[in-house]
Amino acid sequence: MIQIKLFASLRESIGTSSLNLEYAGENTVADVAHELVERGANWRLLEERDVLCAVNQTLCGKDAKINDGDEIAFFPPVTGG
Amino acid sequence: MISVQRGDFDHCEQYQALKDEADGDGAVVTFTGLVRDFNVEGSVSGIHIEHYPGMTEKSLMRICSEARKRWQLGQIRVIHRVGTIGPQEQIVFVGVTSKHRKSAFEACEFIIDYLKTSAPLWKQEGTSEGMKWVASRSSDQEAMDRWANTTNQS
């Protein structure tokens, strides 16, 4: 099982804040994003260039390796401070 | 000390704690960020900040350890508020102590620049058309990029 989390405008546009996926041997974050995009038009936002991602709460690139049990988050550029 | 919290903080208490813990350091530099009551499109009635519980705290810790790699620092305190915050209220506090002022000034600026470009926090502003997500600014990234080649300057 992998846990997907979405934040801020991405969470609002896609309409969900988290979901669990059965782990099917995906290699990278990009593989997971590619699968999620097939869920509907609004999920295509995940593949926009400025979307950031984190694996197990550490910022990483979309080529980052993933494993069963990981928490994968997608979010827009940060605007704190 | 790192804190991600809904409630406000007392700047004087934070300064006092830094001063008490300074242990021989000769400089305390603090930065406090406030909610502006205007943006490019007009007045702002307040903001709402969303965070990623767990990861936000971890990123703030990481930012502090990156600062410690670059400068010899004593104490560091970072507080970031989340949730609904009114105009002119405090959002963020960064306080640093060091033997000398240059390290303290630079580290304080580095921490806020780094926070603005890497800590998972997202801001919505209350406008006449309702709440709007704030877009990230390239000037914040440029401010961060200035630090790219800095390592252990103390």
CA angle B80, B82, B42 (to 5 degrees): 100
Query: Is the Cβ of B33 closer than 8 Å to some Cβ of chain A?
Result: yes
- What is the greatest pairwise CA distance in chain B? 52
Q: Chain B residue with minimal CA distance to A18? A: B52
**Segments of chain A scoring below 70 in pLDDT:** none
- Listed as ranges, residues in chain B with pLDDT below 50 are 154
According to DSSP, the residues that pair with A18 across neighbouring strands are A5
Give the DSSP H or E segment for B32. Answer: strand B27-34
Percent of chain B with pLDDT over 90: 78
Report the pLDDT value the prediction gives residue B43, as an integer from 0 to 100.
86
Q: Quick check: B77 contacting A, CB < 8 Å?
A: no
Contact status, residue A72 vs residue A54, Cβ threshold 8 Å: yes
Chain B residues closer than 8 Å to A4 by CB: none
Quote the pLDDT of residue B153: 53
Residue of A nearest to B120 (CA): A78
User: In B22-137, where does DSSP find H-type helix?
Assistant: 55-70, 101-118
Closest CA to B120 of A80, A14, A11: A80
Q: B112 and A5: CB-CB below 8 Å?
A: no
Per-residue pLDDT tens over the stretch A32-41: 999 999 999 9
Buried b (16+ CB within 10 A) or exposed e, B51-88: bbeebbbbbbeebbebbeebbebbbbbbbbbbeebebe
CB atoms near residue B119 (< 10 Å): 26
